[in-house]
Amino acid sequence: DGGITQSPKYLFRKEGQNVTLSCEQNLNHDAMYWYRQDPGQGLRLIYYSQIVNDFQKGDIAEGYSVSREKKESFPLTVTSAQKNPTAFYLCASSATPSTWASYEQYFGPGTRLTVT
């Protein structure tokens, strides 16, 4: 079955440590995205990538970094510079949109990160 996997489901870290969240997709999608979700709020875009070896900052990129070395993988690193890292992180992917169509995004199950 095709889909998006995120691991681990729960992650705990001490303040001051960097942590990397995994996101893998086997849908052959070109575009991948990282979102942050806080309780009672919508999703905010952290980074996105439309092609291998290229990515762009979203609305809240400060304190985060990404890489896109393979089409299937888009790991997110939460650095110690991120002031409030505790949140639910969601990865998504989509096929590259044509001029006349927008393709829906497919989401992974999420990783809940707790930093103390």
**Contacts (CB under 8 A) with other proteins, residues 13-42:** 31, 33, 35, 40-42
**Contacts (CB under 8 A) with other proteins, residues 68-87:** none
Which one of 13-21, 60-68, 77-85, 93-101 is the stretch in contact with other proteins (CB under 8 A)? 93-101
Q: Angle at Cα 46 formed by Cα 54 and Cα 53, nearest 5°?
A: 10
Among 34, 47, 48, 55, binds other proteins (CB under 8 A): 48
Residue 70: DSSP 8-state: B
Tally of CA atoms within 13 A in the half-sphere of 30 that contains its CB: 8
Among 51, 70, 109, 114, binds other proteins (CB under 8 A): 109
In terms of CB distance, is 82 or 111 closer to other proteins?
A: 111
Residue 97: DSSP 8-state: P
Sign of the C-alpha dihedral, residues 9, 67, 1, 93? positive
- Residue 49, classified by CB atoms within 10 Å of its CB into exposed (0-12), middle (13-18) or buried (19+), is buried
11 lies in the binding site for other proteins (CB under 8 A): no
Site of interaction with other proteins (CB under 8 A): 4, 6, 31, 33, 35, 40-45, 48, 50, 58, 90, 92, 94, 96-97, 101-110
